[in-house]
Structure 1
Amino acid sequence: MKKVLLSAAAVLLLSSVAACSQTESEGENAAAEERVAAVEVAEAVKGDLILERSLFGRTAPNSTTPIVLQSPGEVDSLEVENGELVEEDDIIAKLSTPVGKQTIRAPKDGEVANLKAAEGDTVSTEEPFALIADLDTIKLNFTVTADVRKLVEVDKKMNVTIENKQYEATITSVSTMPDDTGLYPVDAKVDNENHTLLPGMVAELSVPEQQIKDAIIIPTASIIEEDDETFVYVVKDNQAKKQVITVVETQSAETAVEGDIQVGDSIIVTGQLTLSDGVQVNVVKGE
């Protein structure tokens, strides 16, 4: 009798465990089906993709005018310091020389630079007393290969980035002769009325190199590469639909693609890495 009771209890226990397991499995499946992923999207557009090459150079004064002494002497007083803006004929310094007192004046408007003397110092005529730098316009100095030289021309306007800010630069000269390194000097200029740009800053010039016309363009950030397959997720009927694509050309921000992508499709750009085909999505931001 005890054996019968124990057997019955065992059967009931196994049935209960099986029922719990089935309930948990059904709950997990239901949770998976109800999962809604928050995503951000951007619209696929049709247009031209311009491929650019970056050139790096340095900023410099548009021009520098040396202040040359007529005779050596001792600095009695300094009226300016480096970095100070002066106008033409402003007094720079006063000297005592063998031929009498000498007043040094600014030869033109600009910023005082390379002033090394101090009051009481003896100065000579062998090197400039100081420089007057024109910083209203900043010069950009680059060196390029022969292939890149073909992409630039005098008076052409291009975008340049300096200290994380973008400016419009105008090409002012393209040398026909290489320098000692075998590269060709290229100069450009940028307006600097507020004097926010200083000599010696790194400048990144964007040179258009190639243009892909009438392409389907999507954000580069939306593209996923996995198992030798390149694809994106498109939002259709509130679901993430996997679309295999072929990359034609890519830039850091935008990529020209081919595939079953239509103009106006909502391409998922954020949250796509955790998706799978058919997952329900909720667009929280984007177009």
Structure 2
Amino acid sequence: MRKMLLLITLAVLVCVLAACNQDNQTSGEKEEKVIPVETEKAVKDDLVVKKDIYGRTAPASTAPVMVQTPGEIIELEVKNGDKVETDDLIATIDTARGSQHIYASTDGEIAKLNASEGSMVSTSEPLAVIADMSAMELTFTVTSGTQDLFSEGDTYTAIMNDKKYDAEITSISSMPDDTGLYPVTASIEKEDNDILAGMVSVMHVPEKTVKNTIIVPTEAVMTESGQSFVYTVQGGKAAKVNVTIQETQSDKTAVKGDVKKGDKVVTSGQLTLTDGSKVEAVKAGNQS
């Protein structure tokens, strides 16, 4: 009898302990996890959408060095990169009509000189080119649609080697080149020797402006099943807000929806969120 009573008591204790353990697990499951997120405030402003146009630098002017009579170069006074002034002697050529002296027609820098003493030169190709390197120009080729963005006299920002320059549009071709694109030329002031011919430049040209709109970081905008949305933080919880994207410019996006100026939108950590998730705003790099 005592043995039976002991077994019943043990069974009751096991059931009680199991029930307590289950209650503890249920209580833990019900405890809501706090998700660390990073946020930024939505702002109200104009969003300027810019188009990047790529081109190359070239001397503002060049003058070919021509010979009047074919012959052999017997003396060559310059090499590529040499600076010359008007009437400087460039070369002496032995021709059927005697010696011929070739002089610089303008100030500048010798370029595209492919001849040497003892070589023959003709009248069909320039002996060299004198380039005016004191001023440079940028040459771009654009589509007909992009061409409409430019007007002569407009000034834009051109970037070369991470340095910004003011570039003024000087000509816009009305005829396409062999590639079907339209050449556009801009002048740029040269500072010392910081710009060389042939350098690649990018020009940021305003293409469209969205006036008086709500702007959020592009990284805050998510899309699911074709619907764009952001998470805002309200009272320590995440609120999923559907939005319509108006325009995107790199790291900024103009949106329409129930997002107001000053709302905190989630920019990092939103992949683990659902509507109503409990969140804690932290600084970047502090989510440990």
- SS of 1:23's equivalent in the other structure is helix
Moved more, 55-64 or 178-187: 178-187
- SS of 1:159's equivalent in the other structure is strand
- The alpha-carbon distance between structure 1 residues 132 and 8, as it changes in their structure 2 partners (threshold 3 A), is farther
**Deviation, structure 1 residue 155:** 0.4
- 1:22-71 CA-partner distances (Å, limit 9, x unpaired): 434534554x43x34141x3332222222333444433322211122355
Which structure 1 segments of 5+ residues have no match? none
Identity of aligned residues (%): 39
Match of 1:185 in 2: 183
**Deviation, structure 1 residue 137:** 3.1
Moved more, 207-216 or 193-202: 193-202
Give the structure-2-normalised TM-score: 0.77
Q: Is the 8 A contact 2:78 2:110 kept in 1?
A: no
Distance 2:88 2:223 in 1: 67
Correspondences of 1:141-180 after superposition (within 5 Å): 141-162=139-160, 165-180=163-178
1:74 is matched by which residue type in structure 2? Answer: I
- The alpha-carbon distance between structure 1 residues 199 and 281, as it changes in their structure 2 partners (threshold 3 A), is same
Does residue 92 of structure 2 align to residue 95 of structure 1? yes
- SS of 2:283's equivalent in the other structure is strand
Q: Is the 8 A contact 2:84 2:110 kept in 1?
A: no
Match of 2:277 in 1: 278
- SS of 1:284's equivalent in the other structure is coil
- 1:164-200 CA-partner distances (Å, limit 9, x unpaired): 5543321111233444555433222222324434444
Match of 1:63 in 2: 61
Q: Is the 8 A contact 1:75 1:122 kept in 2?
A: no
Q: Is the 8 A contact 1:78 1:119 kept in 2?
A: no
1:260 to 258, 271, 279: 258
Distance 1:141 1:96 in 2: 36
**Deviation, structure 1 residue 223:** 0.6
**Deviation, structure 1 residue 257:** 1.3
How many residue pairs get aligned? The number is 280
Does residue 115 of structure 2 align to residue 117 of structure 1? yes
Q: CA RMSD in A?
A: 3.4
- 1:72-106 CA-partner distances (Å, limit 9, x unpaired): 3325455433xx2514249675435253474x554
1:255 is matched by which residue type in structure 2? Answer: T
Distance 1:274 1:167 in 2: 44
- SS of 2:146's equivalent in the other structure is helix
Distance 2:18 2:198 in 1: 76
- SS of 2:231's equivalent in the other structure is strand
Q: Is the 8 A contact 2:65 2:130 kept in 1?
A: yes
